[in-house]
Amino acid sequence: MKTKFLVLAAVCLGVASGAAQANDRYGQRPPVVLSPDLSAPWVTQLRQPGSVHGAGRIVSKKRVTRRAAVSRKKATRRVSVQRRDQARAQTMNPIYLPQIVSYQSTQKPGTIIIDTPNRFLYLVLGNGQARRYGVGVGKPGFEWAGTHRVSRKREWPDWRPPAEMIAREKRKGRILPAYMAGGPSNPLGARALYLGSTLYRIHGTNQPWSIGGAVSSGCIRMRNEDVVDLYERVGNGTKVIVI
């Protein structure tokens, strides 16, 4: 009788011990999270320490922190570029701002004369006067001279760089797009006056600080404010003389 009692006690202790071990084993089990995507199969995910849950997937906190840091860095860079551009624009030599000047010419009023060496564009007014604007002109090796007429006008023109320009810039490590829609970031700026059947234009720019320099591939650059003003003063057929 005593022996049976001891055996029964041992069995009870074993069961209790097994239950305790089972409780210990599963007591620390992470909670189960069901996929929030109801269109997907019902998949259970175990929440891992140090993780956060997104839409149906576990995302490391470190990854989230890293992404946030990258986003902050990009935002800071954009602000820095904007401040740099504003500072450059403010340092432009005031001599290149539009003004009425004395200008003797045999050309008829309404003629555009571009003085490449001095970086000025003149709109002849007559009576010994002209409206003068500062411009950016062709880089060394891209200067040109000649007489053309405005063949067409465009507001916020799109940009299709010529194949030779794309190849030239690619050799320098700069990849140009084959096409860019018109807008504030477009290098042609707010307006464009196309010259004859050439690839040259009088156009605006997204780099106003470049006015007064030899910076282009042959086109004549103006500040957006100035090219808009000129655009409204001249029409198709206007004579343009580049010297």
For residues 132 and 233, give the distance between their C-alpha atoms in angstroms, rounded to a whole number. Answer: 13
Which residue matches tokens 């000649």? 146
Which residue among 12, 53, 148, 203 is the active-site one? 203
User: Is 148 a residue of the active site?
Assistant: no
CB 151 within 8 A of CB 235: no
Which residue among 12, 53, 148, 219 is the active-site one? 219
User: Is 203 a residue of the active site?
Assistant: yes
Q: List CB contacts of 105: < 8 A, sequence separation 6 or more.
A: 111, 113, 122, 124, 130
Beta bridge partners of residue 242, listed in sequence order: 114, 146
For residues 80 and 106, give the distance between their C-alpha atoms in angstroms, rounded to a whole number. Answer: 48
Of 136, 146, 142, the residue nearest 214 (C-alpha)? 136
Mind giving me the DSSP string for 180-232?
A: B-SSTTSTT-SEEEEETTSS-EEE--S-GGGTTSEEESSPEE--HHHHHHHHH
**C-beta neighbour count of 47 within 10 angstroms:** 13
For residues 50 and 58, give the distance between their C-alpha atoms in angstroms, rounded to a whole number. Answer: 10
For residues 35 and 54, give the distance between their C-alpha atoms in angstroms, rounded to a whole number. Answer: 10
Q: Is the dihedral of CA 124, 130, 133, 138 positive or negative?
A: positive
Provide the annotated active-site residues. Answer: 203, 219
